Chains A and B, each alone.
Chain A
Amino acid sequence: MMHSLIQLSIAVLLLPLLSFVVLIFFNRRLPRGGDFVGVGLLGTTLAIALYIFWTVIVQHYDPAFRLAWDFTWLDFGNVPGVGPLQVKMGIVIDNLTAIMLAMVSLISFLVHLYSTGYMKGETYYGRFFAYLGIFTFSMFGIVLSDNLFSIYMFWELVGLSSYLLIGFYFHKDSAADAQKKAFLTNRVGDIGMWLGILILYSQFHTFGYQEIFAHIKNGDFHMSQAWLTAAGVLLFMGCVGKSAQFPLHVWLPDAMEGPTPVSALIHAATMVAAGVYFMARIFVLLTPEAQHVIAFIGAFTAFMSATIAITQHDIKRVLAYSTVSQLGYMVLGLGVGSYSAALFHLLTHAFFKACLFLGSGAIIHAMHHEQDMRWMGGLYKKMPWTFVTFSIATLALAGLPLTSGFLSKDAILAGALGFAQVEGGGIFYLVPVFGFAAAVMTAFYMGRQVWLVFFGESRTHLKPAEEHGHDAHAAHGHDDHGHHEVHEVSWNMRLPLVILATLSVFIVFSPDPLDGGKGWFMHLVQTPATVVASTEAAHEGAKLHAPEAGKLLAEAHTDTQHVEAAPAAHAEAASNEGEGHGPVYADPRQAEIVHMTHANHWNAIKLSSLMLIAGIGMALIVYVFRIIDPDKTAQAIRPLYLYSFNKWYWDEIYDATIIKGSMLISKILAWFDANIVDGLVNGVATVFRKFAFFNGGVDKYVVDGLVNFTAFTVQTTGAVFRKIQTGKVQTYLVMVVFAVLGWFALYFAHLVK
């Protein structure tokens, strides 16, 4: 018997698919391209998802809430060489799922609503809503999956819908290139992910998360720990591709070729966060080594893309690099073991980044498809709604206190500091350092963006005329120098902005504007205990830091008397830390990280506030008070500026190495094919041809010669004999007479003898 919530979640999963099926087949026959079908079905989905959210989060309010249901989808029996092969499909609903369902359906619904305004008049208006439907379906699939196999299927489906939507303007070469790039880059990551799944499957013969975790906990993993690390890192490759982490981050900025609502839904809020969500699902099986890899990649990605975002001109590209940077934060958070902080950031980021993208979409729409920030300016009076919501989301992204972004980013940074201390400092301090550096730059580039877009004088008329040609607004009838009348967008585009901006305020998530840990999210989504047996190194680390940790403990709880063994102390500390706060961790390393994270909470707040002030202050100095001229500065540090402006030359590097390399390999293979393989085939063919010609010669000259010679002989003889056959009786008679005379002559000759 299925639980009613499971049944409802199946409805949530399938309604967007229904929207896709209806719209892809009938969008031309329905009035208004069938947009009401998409919006209506997504509205229903949202209502159901909110009901699930209400039941799970508000009514139960239990960190251990978990509902699961599965069935055997494919049963191959005992496959030779593989063992029993059974593929199950199932649904799991826990707090994280309920929150993700509500978040995805809300943003998807808002984007549907927004698109009715933004995409108005597009040629393939109905098809756009169909694609949004299949994307939402696949995303729900990822969220609800209870095993690696089905998440991989839905993983590929979101990849497909992302491909379709990036290339929505497929008649543009840049969009077609971008969609190919996104698809191929993701494929690289997905190969790794699949290999990781296979490593786990080869050991346990199951795809289910819970079964795998239970097996690892029981010590059923019979290969060395290195293989488990490899499995973790390979699974992380899927996240690297989908969540655009270095080195596969190159596709996400190019994906901005898609329509802006798509950027908001897929390439900012949901799909790119799926990588982080997936890592969270498999978090407990990550070994410390795998976590180190993840932490460093996340930190580096956060830092690198923030440096790129500073110099970009395209409003969407700045946001795209900002998204990559924030995803880097989330990955960093998972790597340092701050599971709940990373997921918290995923949720808050989804709202404010969707708000930013939809806001930029409103600006682009109002500016008649102008995306270059250099030619904007002074929009705050003309677009007050957009300005206010965009600013709130910007502050949330920069991490200003009182916003949701502050809560989650702080939790991650505190986790990074704690992680660095537990791991013994040194190179591990790079992780928090990159994190804080990215925080400065985030504040700076967002300040720059808001200033360039909304303040100052309108610079539309400064745009060079020759760049006008490629814009699709020749039909808008612009007057001199392409100056357009800019005004606020309609209600169906404003409403999503307002809702999303509201959700970027701290009170939604936590009553305390400075501590997300007091909020419902951190209570309900707690870092699960790792199932990987702690290694010697981890033990040593724990021992190494035992005195320090003990000291901190002593400070925190002056009445403490039990500082016997470090693990026990941490377990105790964790359980004492706030009311009902934090489970007990058996793993010493994990317990210590959790403890140090709490200890570093205020340090992180102080540091990140400092960084925020520094970043916004820089933006003010450069762009508002113009104490430092940005253009002159760019000239002064031209190599650095170019390095950032050209995105660290990653595209060029990949072009020179991987793309050129594979082109070279394919050329070599083509040569091999053309010369060796074809040569063999052609050689055989030539031999046979020669033999056939020889055979033909024999046939022609010997066999035919015999036949023709016979015929020739007969003909010649016939021609001679024909002369005798005159057809005149007299001639024959004469011959008879001569014959008789001859015979007589012979007779008499005999007689004479």
Chain B
Amino acid sequence: MLTEQLLSIGVNHFLTISVILFGLGMFAVMTRKNAIVILMGVELILNAANINFLTFSKYNGGMEGVMFSLFVIVLAAAEAAIALAIVINIFKTFKTVDVSSVDTMKE
């Protein structure tokens, strides 16, 4: 039953998860004020994109998706490193990581 159920997992399931992840990530990026939480939201979005890549790679039978997802993972690592460094610098300058209060270039 379970196997059957497992076997019946198809493209739609993967895409559904990916959409949910993307939606959560988007929600986090759009609503949170803490820079680190926003970063985490970005990671969620990236991972949703990875799931998409891998899903289409598995069902289309090519290696391009895998390659792209590897690139994305590397990119996400690099991005996380730089973004965190930026966040630390923001904190050093403004004594906060609240992005809504970091707006001195507004006017």
Chain A residues near B (Cβ < 8 Å): 722, 725-730, 733-734, 737
**Bound: A734/B31 CA distance, A:** 10
Which residues from B are CB-within-8-Å of A725? 106
| Chain A to chain B: the 4 pairs with minimum beta-carbon distance, closest first | A727-B103, A727-B106, A730-B30, A733-B30
Asked whether, in the complex, the Cβ of A728 is within 8 Å of the Cβ of B29, the reply is no
Nearest CB on B from A730, distance (A) = 5
Contact among B31, B104, B106 for A730, CB-based, below 8 A: B31
Which residues from B are CB-within-8-Å of A734? 30
**Bound: A455/B22 CA distance, A:** 148
Which residues from B are CB-within-8-Å of A737? 26, 30
Which residues from B are CB-within-8-Å of A728? 99-100, 103
Does B38 sit within 8 A of A, measured CB to CB?
yes
**Bound: A734/B106 CA distance, A:** 18
B residues 51-107 in Cβ contact with A at 8 Å: 99-100, 102-107
Contact among B26, B31, B105 for A727, CB-based, below 8 A: B105
**Bound: A725/B29 CA distance, A:** 18
Which residues from B are CB-within-8-Å of A729? 29, 38, 99
Chain B residues near A (Cβ < 8 Å): 26, 29-31, 38, 99-100, 102-107
Contact among B29, B102, B104, B106 for A733, CB-based, below 8 A: B29
**Bound: A729/B107 CA distance, A:** 15
Which residues from B are CB-within-8-Å of A727? 102-106
Q: Whose C-beta in chain A lies nearest to the C-beta of B29?
A: A733
Nearest CB on B from A450, distance (A) = 113
**Bound: A730/B107 CA distance, A:** 18
Which residues from A are CB-within-8-Å of B30? 730, 733-734, 737
**Bound: A737/B99 CA distance, A:** 19
Asked whether, in the complex, the Cβ of A726 is within 8 Å of the Cβ of B99, the reply is no
Nearest CB on A from B31, distance (A) = 7
Nearest CB on B from A457, distance (A) = 114
**Bound: A727/B105 CA distance, A:** 7
**Bound: A722/B106 CA distance, A:** 8
Asked whether, in the complex, the Cβ of B99 is within 8 Å of the Cβ of A730, the reply is yes
Which residues from A are CB-within-8-Å of B105? 727
Which residues from B are CB-within-8-Å of A726? 103, 106
Nearest CB on B from A314, distance (A) = 98
Nearest CB on A from B89, distance (A) = 16
**Bound: A733/B30 CA distance, A:** 7
Q: Which of A722, A727, A733, A734 has the most CB of B within 10 A?
A: A727
Q: Which of A730, A734, A737 has the most CB of B within 10 A?
A: A730
Nearest CB on B from A114, distance (A) = 101
Nearest CB on A from B24, distance (A) = 14
Nearest CB on A from B50, distance (A) = 20
Which residues from A are CB-within-8-Å of B102? 727
Nearest CB on B from A738, distance (A) = 11
Which residues from A are CB-within-8-Å of B103? 726-728
Nearest CB on B from A520, distance (A) = 119
**Bound: A729/B104 CA distance, A:** 13
Nearest CB on B from A370, distance (A) = 99
